[in-house]
Chain A
């Protein structure tokens, strides 16, 4: 049997308030993608799904897309929209 990949997921700002914790460790199957982990998190935490649509994801300190592989494990961070300045509203 292939070894599960351990992903340490960190939550910040709006995302941390929704999930209620700052980090957790999640085992994923070999070949799992970022998108699959995000889907699992959306199911687990009420209200996270809509926010995820506006978040970016970083894996081991680099922005990655939903099709990125989680093989090798590491640190995944959901990056909510960053602080901006005056905002986009008038």
Chain B
């Protein structure tokens, strides 16, 4: 992406170049600590093998929620900068699904803010995943 947006949801591969672009968005002379969270597709879940994972989003709202989470975390941690990209579509094992990058003057706020972003994303952003394993495909629903 030429001009990397702060938040993005799309089918584009999240590779090293994407990671670098997100890092660059939140880094800078005043931001000496950069923490990134990279979420990749795991080969198992709930005791079952996983071969393929498909992510689906209600994109307009998910983008709005992501932006609101980034704003809120930047408000909560003064001076922190946040960028998040989430991939949608069919992903294989080891593919990157999400990258969160947080820049801060100091490491403690960067770590804490990065965790806050991914935790809120998992709770409030309308993105769903469908796991395909030996028994077929199922939409992941983390309630009992």
Contact = CB atoms under 8 A, between A and B. Distances in A.
Interface of A: 10, 12-14, 17, 54, 58, 61, 77, 79-89
A88 B142 contact: yes
18 contacts: A12-B126, A13-B128, A14-B128, A54-B143, A61-B60, A61-B61, A61-B64, A77-B61, A79-B126, A81-B141, A81-B142, A82-B125, A83-B128, A83-B140, A84-B122, A84-B142, A87-B45, A89-B46
Given A10-B58, A58-B61, A87-B45, A82 B124 contact: yes
Interface string B129-142: 11000000001111
A14 B141 contact: yes
Contacts of A58: 58, 61, 126
A12 B128 contact: yes
Contacts of B130: 13
B55 interface: yes
Interface of B: 39, 45-46, 55-56, 58, 60-61, 64, 122-130, 139-144
B61 A87 contact: no
Given A12-B58, A87-B46, A89-B144, A82 B127 contact: yes
Nearest to B123: A82
User: Which of B45, B122, B129, B141 is packed against the most chain A CB atoms within 10 Å?
Assistant: B141
A77 B129 CA distance: 17
A71 to B, nearest CB: 21
B44 to A, nearest CB: 10
B138 to A, nearest CB: 9
Given A12-B56, A77-B61, A87 B140 contact: yes
A82 B129 CA distance: 8
A83 B50 CA distance: 15
Contacts of B144: 88-89
B126 A82 contact: yes
